[in-house]
Chains A and B, each alone.
Chain A
């Protein structure tokens, strides 16, 4: 179970996360109800923009009937669809009228047209494109969708402004021949992920999830480890061991050795799952990074920290229940604090500073240095040292507590 469950966890969480990412990037898995009351260029442009983005599956009719605004609203209200977009009637004509007026007013300033007539005219009231969201939709997803809608609108409006300018200038100046290519975008955006590697590592759900869940699984060694310690104590085996000519620290290190091996095997299983198993689910394959030695060292110190933590909890806890509940909940808290689930940069300032004291944060920062930044031993050194100090502290606390508080049982 120690090896199978974390692998299952990695597969499921990567699938879920990849689905979340891909819904915004490549796989049209989110259905959007589209109500085009405009029936003109703008409505069509927004609709085609959604279709072209390949992020959404656009539905504009249900049961072979065009969707009305009311039907769309009710469908979202009932939770049947996450999103519905209603482009209002006359959206295109309103935009065109306002653009034309804006252009006319600008040209009037250059003495083209009648300024008195043009300046006396007023813009039409703006029309609202209504977007219905299911209340369960996450804010980030909502923002991404709204950005997509706005981008399509602004692009269309910019095109239309140029087109109108050219038309109006041509009307005023018959000699003017509009250029075939009215405008070329100056800026294009290229995403680059700086890396210590020659070939950059592209972040994806696998590169994020495998290290995160590996750390989580390693720290969950707390549960079997504490149960074993308490069972040993309650069963009398510790009593017997303490009467034997073996120093307590040797016994402790024996346990560290055994559970380190378990953690290492667990990690290998999870990395192999990332490399071999995840691609079977059409997920990206895990790229191990630049430095296998760095990866080994990082895994070793994370394992040491988790085993040390388990030994400390198991020695201090009085009962199985106490150890199981405190052990598991504390690991979940440290994981949440450490940024295993929510990135630290999304946390409020207080939580951000708290996260720096979580050993799971040191662990994930070190692993990300390897898996996402292509770093090696030098880059993981600060985190590795912190984890080693944490391990030494937990072992010291364990030994002192055993000697002072729990010499007999």
Chain B
């Protein structure tokens, strides 16, 4: 891993209007190129807010973000060209086919013609969706929707991919395909920032993880290091529960 971070977060704070506590509380973090970085935390911990700021959906209350050397305050449009986002929701148009959805989102990234067509065909094949490409997305299974949802964020070959709970609510086979693919593109140099509730998945996939709770990073390091720091626990899930507590969150 290079020493020069691809994402530099400094004192990042977000306070929503009317909120008593900050959703993100002065977090600082470096993510390095070609890293699979896990952002873990219970509901309402600040994961989605952090990712949303990094993706340029809304500004932080204070602090700074540099992505691939570009200041998000000054050149957000350029940042948007090198990132790919896979939202937690199935962000697809249900009345369009899988192929039409991908063509539309590809167009939004400036891809057209045979280049786009070839990429769509390639991804549909890799994710086992060729037979269903011309069916409406509303007819897809949960796993198929998740796979198309992922492809839509990869079409333009981004340097950095943000994945918000990419495997939630799908069958084991689809989860396996997605995780294998993430590992594969990571080997090709893509940096992945990933949130999940599945600790076992994060433990095996991520090079490093940050456990975030109530807007603060409460633990940061390689999964192995976190486990070594808490030898009384056998796995990351137990460490996570130990750090964030057993109380249920809204």
User: Which of A235, A236, A243 is close to B56, meaning CB atoms less than 8 Å apart?
Assistant: A243
Which A residues are in CB contact (< 8 Å) with B77? 245, 247
Chain A 211-247 interface mask (CB, 8 Å, partner B; 1/0): 0000000000000000000001011110111111111
Nearest chain-A residue to B76 (Cβ)?
A: A245
Contacts of A232 in B (CB 8 A): 93
* B229 beta carbon closer than 8 Å to chain A: no
Residue of B nearest to A246 (CB): B108
Q: How far is the CA of A67 from the CA of B218 in the complex (A)?
A: 97
Interface flag for B39 (CB, 8 Å): no
CA gap between A246 and B77 in the complex, in Å: 8
> Contact: B80 with A237, CB < 8 Å?
no
Pick from A236, A241, A407: contact of B108, CB below 8 A: A241
Which residues of chain B are within 8 angstroms of A347 by Cβ–Cβ distance?
none
**Alpha-carbon distance between A232 and B80 when the two chains are bound, in angstroms:** 20
In contact, B93 and A242 (Cβ under 8 angstroms): no
Which of B84-92, B116-124, B182-190, B242-250 makes up part of the contact surface?
Answer: B84-92
Closest to A251 in B: B108
Determine the chain B residues whose CB is within 8 A of the CB of A234 once the complex forms.
Answer: 89
Chain B CB within 8 A of A408 CB: yes
B170–chain A nearest beta-carbon distance, Å:
16
Task: Identify the closest chain B residue to A247 (Cβ).
Answer: B77
Q: Which of A236-281 contact B (CB under 8 A)?
A: 236-237, 239-247
In the assembled complex, the Cα of A247 lies from the Cα of B80 at a distance in Å of: 11
Within the complex, what minimum Cβ distance (angstroms) separates B88 from chain A? 7
Q: Contact between B110 and A243 (Cβ–Cβ < 8 Å)? A: no
Q: Which among B57, B83, B92, B109 is the interface contact of A237 at CB below 8 angstroms?
A: B92
Tell whether, in the assembled complex, residue B91 and residue A408 are in contact, meaning their CB atoms are under 8 Å apart. no
Evaluate whether A244 and B108 lie within 8 angstroms (CB atoms) in the complex, with A239-B57, A407-B57 already known: yes
Question: Which residues of A are found within 8 Å of B108, using beta-carbon distances?
Answer: 241, 244-246
Q: In chain A, what residue has the closest Cβ to B94? A: A235
Does B152 sit at the interface, judged by CB under 8 A?
yes
Q: By the criterion CB–CB under 8 Å, are A240 and B57 in contact?
A: no
Contact of B105 among A239, A244, A247, A408 (CB under 8 A): A244
Residue numbers in A under 8 Å from B38 (CB-CB): none
Q: B49 to nearest A CB, angstroms?
A: 9
**Contact size range, B:** 20 to 34
Please name all residues of chain A whose beta carbon is closer than 8 Å to the beta carbon of B80 when the two chains form the complex: 243-245
Q: Which residue of B lies closest to A406 (CB)?
A: B58
Residue of A whose beta carbon sits closest to that of B86: A240
Interface residue range, chain A: 10 to 19
**Of the residues A239, A245, A246, A247, contact of B87 by C-beta under 8 Å:** A239
User: In whole angstroms, how far apart are the Cα atoms of A245 and B84 in the complex?
Assistant: 10
| A244: B residues at CB distance < 8 A | 80, 105, 108-109
The answer to whether A236 touches B109 (Cβ under 8 A) is no
Chain A 165-181: CB-based contact to B (< 8 A → 1; otherwise 0): 00000000000000000
Chain B residue at smallest Cβ distance from A241: B108
Query: Does B153 lie at the interface of the complex (its beta carbon under 8 Å from any beta carbon of A)?
Result: yes
Q: Which residues of B contact A246 (CB under 8 A)?
A: 108
Chain A residues contacting B85 (CB-CB under 8 Å) are: 239-240, 243
For residue B81, CB closer than 8 A to chain A, the reply is: yes
Interface presence of B238 (CB below 8 A):
no
Contact indicator B88/A236 (Cβ below 8 Å): yes
Chain B CB within 10 Å, residue with most, of A235, A239, A240: A240
What is the bound-complex CA distance between A137 and B63, given in angstroms?
Answer: 73
Question: In the complex the two chains form, what is the Cα distance from A243 to B88 in whole Å?
Answer: 14
B91 & A235 in contact (Cβ 8 Å cutoff): yes
Q: Are B105 and A240 in contact (CB under 8 A)?
A: yes
Task: Tell me which residues across on chain A come within 8 A of B103, comparing CB atoms.
Answer: none
B121-175 residues at the A interface, CB under 8 angstroms: 152-153
19 contacts between A and B (CB under 8 A): A232-B93, A235-B93, A235-B94, A236-B87, A236-B89, A236-B91, A239-B85, A239-B89, A239-B91, A240-B153, A242-B56, A242-B57, A243-B80, A243-B85, A245-B77, A245-B108, A245-B109, A247-B77, A408-B52
The 5 nearest A-B residue pairs measured at CB: A236-B89, A236-B91, A407-B58, A245-B80, A240-B91
Chain B interface (Cβ < 8 Å from any Cβ of A): 52, 55-58, 77-78, 80-81, 83, 85, 87-94, 105, 108-110, 152-153
Having A241-B108, A243-B80, A245-B108, one finds 20 other A-B pairs with CB under 8 Å, namely: A232-B93, A234-B89, A235-B89, A235-B90, A235-B93, A236-B87, A236-B91, A239-B57, A239-B85, A240-B91, A242-B56, A243-B56, A243-B85, A244-B80, A244-B109, A245-B78, A246-B108, A247-B77, A407-B58, A408-B52
